[in-house]
Amino acid sequence: MGLKWTDTLDIAEALMDAHPNQDPTRVNFVDLMQWVMNLPEFDDDPKRCGERILEAIQQTWIDEL
C-alpha cells in the first residue's frame, strides 16, 4: 500500500531522503506537491491535496530536521 497525503511523517522522511540538501523552509507548495507525487511509494489522488496538507508535510519535514 502506497503513501497517502495524510501520511505526513512518512512523506517528510521520504522527502528528506530524496532531497537531502534542500531547506524545507524554502520550498514552495507547487514544488512540494510535485516532489511528493514523484515519490515512488506515493499513491494518492492529486485532487485530495490542499494547502493544509502541504503545510503539514512541510512542517513535519522541518520538525524532523
Model's pTM, two decimal places? 0.95
- Judge whether 40 lies within some domain: yes
**Cα 50–chain centre separation:** 12
Question: How many folded domains does the chain comprise?
Answer: 1
Residues forming a β-bridge with 29: none
Please report the pLDDT score of residue 60 as a whole number.
98
Give 12-65 pLDDT, tens digit per residue.
999 999 999 999 999 999 999 999 999 999 999 999 999 999 999 999 999 999
Residue 65 and residue 52: Cα distance in Å, rounded? 20
- Judge whether 20 lies within some domain: yes
CATH code, 40: 1.10.10.600
- Judge whether 55 lies within some domain: yes
- Judge whether 1 lies within some domain: no
